[in-house]
Structure 1
Amino acid sequence: MNHKNYEYLKEQLLYSGFGNGLEDSLKDNLQRQPEGFQLLFQTGMGKGRIRAELNFSRSSQSDMYFFNSYRLEIVPQGTEQRRAQLFYVNGRDRYTLKEAYNLMHGRSVFKELSNRQGDRYEAWVQLDLKTMDINGNHRFRQFHKNYGFDLQSELDRYPIRELEMPDRRQDLIDALQLGNRQPVTMELEKGETRLYLQANPQFKVLNVYDENGIRQEFLGPEKGMDLTMEKTDRKKLSTGELSEAKKKIHGRKRGLGG
């Protein structure tokens, strides 16, 4: 067995998000020296479970092995759909387990990528979960910088306490670029409120959710402006009633009463 190769692959598994629970299986396969092999990874993530098949191949010119890709499957929980997708860890574009998990839940990830000529560039990446190719994989969509979504400018529209602290601000940006639905504290008229943000570069906005996962609508860019009614309340109103309700809310924000 090539011990340097083993140590390298062990670190690659760790930094790709698969931890160190596969080390014994990895060593066993490297000692047997097959042409290629797979390792099975399972764990809980979020409110459900995931399963991944990790693909390794042997070099045609040496005893080195390469961790090439993994097929990630979301195990259904309740009404959640079963999904599977192949992600690469060698080559031009590499995805960690956390990034892959977020992509498979319809979220966007900010990545440094490369084109066929090897030139590097940055873009937001999202899976098109409505379509699949002949291999059963979803197509990747990209939103480049010139598309017009500016995460930092969008964050500054909101009264987020974490933005007042430089280290917490960067942590928030990093988490959103990873594709996380990230908790924040907003200073609203009703007081400090725990909410969750998710980057949505396709529509050049941040999605805002409450603790129950219900999406909220923010009224405006000014500090201190509150959230609108939750969806469950909005559905009870007719179009005219909803318009009138919004006028009253805006009136209160301007100190007009009502």
Structure 2
Amino acid sequence: MNLNNLENLKEEMKALGFKEKLINQMEEQMKKDVPEFKLHDALPATKGQVDMTLYFKQSGQSEFYYLNKFEVAHNQGKPLEEGQKYMVISPGADGKNMVKKMENVSEAIDFFKKQEGNSELALGKDAAHKTTVASTENGKVNYVAKDFQRTFYSQPIPQTFWVEKGKGFTAEQAANLVQGRSVYRDDLLNLGGIPYKAWMKLDADKPRDRHDNLTFNQYHDPSYGFDLGKVLDKFNIKELENPAKRVLLEVSIKNGNRPLITTVKDGQEVKLFVEAVPRYSQLNMYQENGKPEKREQFQKEPAISNSHAKGKEKEHELSESQGLKR
């Protein structure tokens, strides 16, 4: 194992926001000197969880490894609780059960389906405290729990995110993109190598490309006209009064998150989740239980008709054909 290669990959993984435990798993795999390997992780989602698969490949000319892509899928079924894992339980040759634990539901289902004899897919903190969600008999599925059937039979198509030397969408940004939210990038290059900035959103309304990926809608900055800071200033948001909190809020929104803000409704302070909607130069707001709120009631001034914004969208929205290099 080349230690300089390991050091570089650790820096790339950290830059992309992957967990320390995943970095440690990468190092263990590199020590084995295998030609390629995959790592799996899972992140909580607004609904369900986001599963990630990272692909590492060794160069054909050296012992160096490279991380060029990772896949992300949004599973909207019930997420794992704290401390829980998926477990595939199969009888071993010595009569004792073999238990393989995983956090990634897609990985767990795929591994479970490959079992040839009797097997059980369960979730829980350990095999002694588990809930069975599927089972096989002689390699054939004979049971899938009712509340797990959608997850089991309708696994989401993953979205591939390409990276180059630690540059690209971070794990956090990718997880938010597959949940339908928008992310701001200030380090993009078009196919001609010219840098630009834009809000990015996956287009779920158009057919997938030849690699089975969704394409992006891009709202270029500043030409499209969505200025997050100015839009935030239209609303009564307590966090904006503190410069440090304002910076954190804007960074979180630009990464595609739904941060919690404090505002006033009917004379009382309330907490709401907020997210950016660049297409309409607006924000969406949600109660803590996920129910949408009308944003106009939290504006400092009466809301102006959004017909102008819609017209601006048609005038300024730029085609994806300009290309996205990284």
Displacement of 1:183: 0.9
SS of residue paired to 1:141: strand
SS at match of 2:230: helix
CA distance in 2, matches of 1:118, 1:209: 39
| 3-state SS of paired residue (2:262) | strand
Q: Counterpart of 2:284 in structure 1: which amino acid?
A: N
Taking structure 1 as the reference length, the TM-score comes to: 0.78
8 Å CA contact 2:74, 2:179 repeated in 1: no
* Partners of 1:109 and 1:180 in 2: CA distance: 8
Q: Which residue of structure 2 lines up, in the alignment, with residue 74 of structure 1?
A: 74
CA–CA distance in 2 between the matches of 1:64 and 1:214? 49
Equivalent residue for 1:123, pick from 198, 202, 205: 198
Which residue does 1:245 correspond to in 2? none
**Counterpart for residue 174 of structure 2:** 100
How many residue pairs match? The answer is 226
Partner of 1:147: 224
Alignment of 1:1-258 (within 5 A): 1-77=1-77, 82-90=156-164, 94-112=168-186, 113-130=188-205, 131-145=207-221, 146-219=223-296, 223=300
Indicate the RMSD between aligned Cα atoms, in angstroms.
Answer: 2.6
Deviation at 1:20, TM superposition (A): 1.8
For residue 21 of structure 2, give the secondary structure of its aligned residue in structure 1: coil
Aligned amino acid, residue 219 of structure 2: F
Q: CA deviation at 1:56?
A: 1.4
1:167 is paired with a residue whose SS is helix
Q: CA 1:179–1:24 in structure 2 vs 1: closer, same or farther (change >3 Å)?
A: closer
CA-CA distance at 1:189 after TM superposition: 4.3
> Offset at 1:176?
0.7
Residues in 2 aligned to 1:129 and 1:197: alpha-carbon distance in whole angstroms: 21
Does the 8 A contact of 2:176 with 2:182 survive in 1? Answer: yes
| Aligned-residue offset at 1:93 | 5.9
The offset of 1:40, in angstroms, is 2.4
Look up the equivalent residue of 2:211 and give its one-letter code: N
CA shift, 1:210, in A, is 1.5
Task: Report how far residue 22 of structure 1 moved.
Answer: 2.9
The alpha carbon displacement at 1:147 in A equals: 1.2
State the identity %. Answer: 33
CA distance in 2, matches of 1:223, 1:200: 19
Question: Normalising to structure 2: TM-score of the pair?
Answer: 0.63
Residue 116 of structure 1: SS of its match in structure 2?
A: coil
- Is the CA contact 2:29–2:37 (under 8 Å) kept in the aligned structure 1? yes
Hey, what's the Cα distance between the residues in 2 that align with 1:186 and 1:43? Answer: 28
Give a deviation string over 1:97-134, Cα, whole Å, max 9, x none: 11011101110000021112322111000001233123
1:218–1:72 distance in 2 versus 1, CA, 3 Å: closer
Which amino acid counterpart does residue 244 of structure 2 have in structure 1?
D
Gaps of 5+ in 2: 79-149, 304-326
Return the letter of the residue paired with 2:257.
N
What letter corresponds to residue 95 of structure 1 in structure 2? F
Q: More relative contact order in 1 or in 2 (CA 8 Å, sep 6+)?
A: 2
Q: CA deviation at 1:47?
A: 4.6
- What is the letter of the counterpart of residue 206 of structure 1? L
Residues 11-67 of structure 1: CA deviation (Å, up to 9, x unaligned): 322332321223454234323333332222235444523322211122344322111
Q: Which residue of 2 aligns with 1:241?
A: none
